[in-house]
Structure 1
Amino acid sequence: MTDAQPRPHVLTALDGDVWRITLDRPETGNALTPALAAELLAALEARPERARVVLLLANGPRFCVGGDIGSFAGADDPGAFVGRLAHDWHRVIRAALYSPVPVVAGVQGAVAGAGVGLMGACDLVICARTTKIRPAYGAIGFSPDGGTSWALSRSLGAPRALDLLLSNGVLTAAEAHLTGLVARLVEDEDLRATAESVAVEIANGPVRAMVRTRALVRRAATRTLEEQLDDEAQLIAESAADPEGREGVRAFVEKRLPDFRNAR
């Protein structure tokens, strides 16, 4: 007899144009381990060519509680172990940030530590109303990783981000929505259905233009207006020459809905 294969920590499924990725360690709050980081990176990189959007979900009552702290305590060399895990997790964050298609996330329950950075790497976050967001690094004497400091500074501003991080504070879903850390707030029971509906809606749109738009928005905070105008001019020209742009213009002139999915 062969040994049983370990249960996967990340599930994937192609549903039409949507590549669904689901964290599946609910018994641990989907805590981050080297295995989960490796599987999530593989899932992002394995997106089928036909998938026009990534939908990131999590099974269980909590989206992601951050690192598996028990594994930190058991490491012979905690610095080396946590450093390697951060390096692996940052590959995941970069894969989400630079995904060739938009990334939508449905977030519920508790989000902590590196889970905050994962949420911040997604393009559009749908958040359940009772969700609590807590960086939690200070509680164990760590500084942030996973892009958490970037995501919080970008949405809250430096003073409020520091207040949250240094005081080991908690953001409610309503506060996260008000500050822009999450895009939409829904009732808990509507989270998954809403996230799926939004993913389908985005998949029907001009996804290559959306990726260009994402790049413009993310770079805007660190650029001068002149630099941003130059980039906008370049990217709108690319969009106009793209089959998506050609289809959009034709559809407008012909007074019909555009078919971006088949614009090649």
Structure 2
Amino acid sequence: MSNELLVRQDGAVLHVTINRPEHGNGMSDAMARELIQLLDRAHESSDLVLLRGAGADFCIGRARDPNRPAPSPDAYERREEYDVIFDCYRAIRRCQVPVIGVVQGRAMGFGTAVVALCDVSFASDAATFNIPEMGHGIMPTMVMSALFDRMNRNAILWMTYSREFIDAQRALQYGLVSTVVPADRLDQEVQDFCAKLAASPRPAIRGLKEYLRSAPDMSEQGAVDYARSLHAMVNTAGAMKNSPQR
């Protein structure tokens, strides 16, 4: 692993910090590949992943890898070059343990997409969010592929068309983040939440992720039947025996 992603294991919590503060924590393709590997293996050592940025910002978008050649002019080749970003989005979705995002400053483009994909996202009341791609002559369907089932259509299109920053409270209204807390309380609120989550039965946490990953694409009856099966299976797991009966 490079020093552009700082990784620290603290008990059941895997801390991953985007570590390019002098560049707003822009995410290169090489960093995205590292993040994919971390997320795909997180369940082997951890009950949750805590993802944040070093310094003032969360992530101001993508950054080109040093010495990388210019993008291919061929559409099919260029499509493959972008697959690492789509794979990174999928890795957050499929991660077997919860991914918790912590946003202390700007989240832009790719950063906004990552925040939306996290299972729970904390935002400082000083955090801001935007999708600037249209201002650079780029149609932002890459980012939109992360948002289409997280935010409503009008909110997505307003952010992409206007390119304006929104504050944390509007991000909360749009469904982009889970909660907004005062900047001076951010670390403590995150710590308290992670402790509560780490103390929860692991089968239940993983079962919730599994259900929400699949149920929205099912028919109503299929989603109900799947819930019945998971409810019976998870609630009879050995790890649930010490939990209060419901």
Distance 1:58 1:168 in 2: 22
Between stretches 239-248 and 12-21, larger displacement belongs to: 239-248
State the 1:100 CA deviation. 1.5
State the 1:150 CA deviation. 3.9
Distance 2:170 2:48 in 1: 27
Note if 1:43 corresponds to 2:38: yes
Pair 38,170 (structure 1): closer, same or farther in 2 beyond 3 Å: same
Letter in 2 for 1:122: C
| Aligned counterpart for 2:87 among listed residues 82, 91, 96 | 91
Note if 1:26 corresponds to 2:21: yes
Pair 239,36 (structure 1): closer, same or farther in 2 beyond 3 Å: same
Residue 153 of structure 2 corresponds to which residue in structure 1?
A: 158
Distance 1:210 1:7 in 2: 30
Pair 182,76 (structure 1): closer, same or farther in 2 beyond 3 Å: closer
State the 1:87 CA deviation. 1.1
Q: Deviations over 1:13-34 (max 9, x none)?
A: 1111111111000011111212
Pair 178,140 (structure 1): closer, same or farther in 2 beyond 3 Å: same
Residue 122 of structure 1 corresponds to which residue in structure 2?
A: 118
Does structure 1 conserve the Cα–Cα contact (< 8 Å) formed by 2:128 and 2:166? yes
Distance 1:240 1:7 in 2: 40
Pair 181,219 (structure 1): closer, same or farther in 2 beyond 3 Å: farther
Does structure 2 conserve the Cα–Cα contact (< 8 Å) formed by 1:11 and 1:21? yes
Note if 1:170 corresponds to 2:165: yes
State the 1:48 CA deviation. 6.6
Residue 229 of structure 2 corresponds to which residue in structure 1?
A: 234
Which ranges of structure 1 fall in alignment gaps of 5 or more residues? 1-5, 254-264
Note if 1:179 corresponds to 2:137: no
Pair 191,235 (structure 1): closer, same or farther in 2 beyond 3 Å: same
Q: Deviations over 1:23-48 (max 9, x none)?
A: 00001111121221122223324437
Residue 107 of structure 1 corresponds to which residue in structure 2?
A: 103
Does structure 2 conserve the Cα–Cα contact (< 8 Å) formed by 1:54 and 1:199? no
Residue 213 of structure 1 corresponds to which residue in structure 2?
A: 208
Does structure 2 conserve the Cα–Cα contact (< 8 Å) formed by 1:86 and 1:145? no
State the 1:168 CA deviation. 1.8
Does structure 1 conserve the Cα–Cα contact (< 8 Å) formed by 2:122 and 2:190? yes
Letter in 1 for 2:230: L
Percent identical:
24
State the 1:62 CA deviation. 0.8
TM-score, length-scaled by structure 1: 0.81
Q: Deviations over 1:143-180 (max 9, x none)?
A: 2255x314433343112211221222332110111232
SS across alignment from 1:205: coil
| Aligned counterpart for 1:245 among listed residues 223, 240, 244 | 240
Does structure 2 conserve the Cα–Cα contact (< 8 Å) formed by 1:135 and 1:168? yes
Count of equivalent residues: 245
State the 1:73 CA deviation. 11
TM-score, length-scaled by structure 2: 0.87
| Aligned counterpart for 1:63 among listed residues 58, 64, 75 | 58
Distance 1:56 1:151 in 2: 17
Letter in 2 for 1:181: L
State the 1:109 CA deviation. 0.8
State the 1:124 CA deviation. 0.5
| Aligned counterpart for 2:130 among listed residues 122, 130, 134 | 134
SS across alignment from 2:6: strand
State the 1:74 CA deviation. 6.9
Q: Deviations over 1:57-113 (max 9, x none)?
A: 110111011112697997253667864553112222222211111111111211111
Asked which structure has the greater CA Rg, the reply is 1
Residue 189 of structure 2 corresponds to which residue in structure 1?
A: 194
Distance 1:106 1:216 in 2: 24
Pair 198,74 (structure 1): closer, same or farther in 2 beyond 3 Å: same
Pair 79,139 (structure 1): closer, same or farther in 2 beyond 3 Å: farther
Between stretches 93-102 and 137-146, larger displacement belongs to: 137-146
Pair 226,31 (structure 1): closer, same or farther in 2 beyond 3 Å: same
